[in-house]
Structure 1
Amino acid sequence: MSPRPFYQAALRGLHSLLNGFSQIFLQTHAGCGLLVLLAIAIGAPHLLAGALLGALGSTLTARWRGYPGADIAMGLYGYNGILLGLLLSLTIDWSALLALLIITSAALSSLLLAPWMRRMREHRWLPAFTFPFVALGWLLLWLTAPLHLPAQSEAVNAQASLSWLTSLEATVRGLGQVIFLDHPLAGLCLFIGLWLADRHAACWALLGSAGGLALALYQSWPTQGASAGLYGYNAALAAIALGQVHRRPWLPLLGIVLALLLQPGFSALGLPALTMPFILSCWLISASRRLLQQAADDCTPLPRRDKGLHPQDKTP
């Protein structure tokens, strides 16, 4: 028996896995996915196993459930699982229970995403984006205390005042914070990956992250969070998503502003923001455009028709 089919299947599986990593940044590009993997290996190698486990758990579940092969190949059933694997690996010490939690939550993310995508295509639902990751992430973080899961200690780094060099580092760190990375070289890898996949998206991402840093400095938010890029990653994702769909630049700019304004509200609610500000900003803009379009269509006068009248009854 020829080994070629096995190699071809392995190559397709690898391609799908890398696309899953690139879909975190809304791209379908294996090279971008490879650079996302490299960024994790550089910035936080201890998170790499969790990311791979999450990718396998969500993708294999999609294959087991018989979801469309094209969606699986594009990595659409990989990115939520990857983000869950990263989040749980960052929060909880490694154990057999952690591995089980990653696999289970990644599988659940695919089960949640599939009906949402079907309704999006059939009934014009808004895109799910990373909502399965956010919903399951909030639930799992809430369960860490009742389950008595050992939490990882967080390192606190004192940050000096921002110079032009540290501001540049903070901007690329904003890209890294999408996947919980706080290393400028990791952020640079992500920018290069985006540039390979879509230069337009790379520029919007950098602008969104810079906007988050600028607002943090203007509002005198904590310098430590600003220099770590914590205020830029949602704005970067919103800019990428809206810049892909809308060619008018004011819509991605509006998405950046909305994401920045929404993010502090989650701290007030006692919830980790994760990527929910990005999701809400895109939903608000898309829903508003649909309502405006519907209102415009309703106000458009229909052509006059003499339906139901006999020809002799018409006024000459």
Structure 2
Amino acid sequence: MLRLPRHVSAVLNGFSQIFLQAHPLCGLLIALAIALHTPALLAGALAGALAGTFGAAALGRSRADIDCGLYGYNSALLGVLIVLQLGLSAFSLGLIACAALLIDPLQTRLLAGLRERQWLPGFTLPFVLLGWLVLTLLPAPTGTPASVAPIDAQALAFAIATGIGQVIFLDQPLAGLLVLVAVWLADRRAARWLLAGSAAGLGIDLLFGAAHGPILAGLAGYNPALAALAVSQVQRSAWAPLLAIVAAVLARLAFDRLGLPPLTMPFILACWLVALAARRVRRQPENA
């Protein structure tokens, strides 16, 4: 197997950690999916991953955490969001670098709390918090609503794939399929739950009578897809990822009702709910 330079591997792992993997080839394919969708978005993601990774190294963070990509994925996601809002420019790239520096201490604190004080995992919380700030301060111009295709088998299949791509703001089914292949190379079980989560999120939204436009755009699928993948990494039972899927859908519906951009917060809340439930179950025999 080709051995990559350590920093190259760390940056690629930053891409793969968006889907909770530490796998350079997975990260490379995710970067390729972004590039094929919109090259400018790759520039933003790469700027974020580089700034987060090398910034952490300069600040003396844990080498193991840097190598695993734990300082790259939040910044990469935020880089994509900033370019979506502002376009690609020297200003947006500089803003991405500054955002990566803000993410660093928060990510360091979350990792320390997880390991030393049994905090719940932070996942993409730094991205969400700064992402909300970006969306508040830098609103994107409103585009023309896309026409909604009729609901048929092909449209549903495309929507499931697009739901996977929407984790990284990619609204094309081909991009989602490439991401699915990337995760499959890293962990086949994770890829199966990623696919199942996107499909289930779409199905639940249809049952609730949600608008077809967001469903076909993949917006119903990405949070339950991430939640199912994440929970499947730590819980072998199928019930836990299924609970996470339902919780992520309900949380996203709540965000929609409140008029707040969900980003990946429903995924985080769903994982926290399952983690707290698992802790409670483990403590019951001790208290019996």
**TM-score w.r.t. structure 2 length?**
0.96
**Is the Cα contact below 8 Å between 1:90 and 1:152 reproduced in 2?**
no
Matched, 1:196 2:190: no
Partner secondary structure for residue 5 of structure 2: helix
**Structure 1 residue ranges (4+ consecutive) displaced by more than 4 angstroms after TM superposition:** none
1:53-202 mapped onto 2 (5 Å cutoff): 53-144=47-138, 151-202=140-191
How many equivalent residue pairs? 287
**Is the Cα contact below 8 Å between 1:42 and 1:185 reproduced in 2?**
no
Aligned equivalents of 2:17, 2:87: Cα separation in 1? 27
Deviations 1:64-85 (A, max 9, x none): 1111111101101100000000
Return the offset for 1:269: 2.1
* Corresponding residue number in structure 2 for 1:266: 255
Return the offset for 1:266: 1.1
Aligned equivalents of 2:144, 2:42: Cα separation in 1? 19
Return the offset for 1:12: 1.2
* Corresponding residue number in structure 2 for 1:42: 36
Return the offset for 1:253: 0.5
Letter in 2 for 1:289: A
Deviations 1:87-145 (A, max 9, x none): 11111233333222111111211211001111211111111100000011111221226
Matched, 1:21 2:10: no
* Corresponding residue number in structure 1 for 2:265: 276
Identity of aligned residues (%): 49
Letter in 2 for 1:127: P
Return the offset for 1:10: 7.6
Aligned equivalents of 2:40, 2:212: Cα separation in 1? 26
**Is the Cα contact below 8 Å between 2:164 and 2:194 reproduced in 1?**
yes
Partner secondary structure for residue 84 of structure 2: helix
Return the offset for 1:159: 1.7
Aligned equivalents of 2:67, 2:36: Cα separation in 1? 26
My pick for the range that moved more, 152-161 or 172-181, is 152-161
Unpaired runs of 5+ in structure 2?
none
Aligned equivalents of 2:197, 2:211: Cα separation in 1? 19
Aligned equivalents of 1:62, 1:287: Cα separation in 2? 30
Return the offset for 1:292: 3.0
Matched, 1:248 2:245: no
Deviations 1:284-314 (A, max 9, x none): 1111221232233122xxxxxxxxxxxxxxx
Letter in 2 for 1:171: I
* Corresponding residue number in structure 1 for 2:202: 213
Aligned equivalents of 1:65, 1:233: Cα separation in 2? 33
Matched, 1:224 2:181: no
Matched, 1:237 2:242: no
Aligned equivalents of 1:110, 1:221: Cα separation in 2? 37
Partner secondary structure for residue 156 of structure 1: coil
* Corresponding residue number in structure 2 for 1:6: none
Aligned equivalents of 2:168, 2:37: Cα separation in 1? 10
Aligned equivalents of 2:169, 2:186: Cα separation in 1? 21
Aligned equivalents of 1:257, 1:268: Cα separation in 2? 17
Unpaired runs of 5+ in structure 1?
1-8, 146-150, 300-316
Aligned equivalents of 2:38, 2:254: Cα separation in 1? 28
Deviations 1:119-176 (A, max 9, x none): 211111111100000011111221226xxxxx35535321221211111111010000
Letter in 2 for 1:232: G
Return the offset for 1:186: 0.5
Aligned equivalents of 2:176, 2:138: Cα separation in 1? 29
Aligned equivalents of 2:260, 2:51: Cα separation in 1? 26
Aligned equivalents of 2:89, 2:15: Cα separation in 1? 24
Letter in 2 for 1:18: L
Aligned equivalents of 1:223, 1:39: Cα separation in 2? 25
Partner secondary structure for residue 245 of structure 1: coil
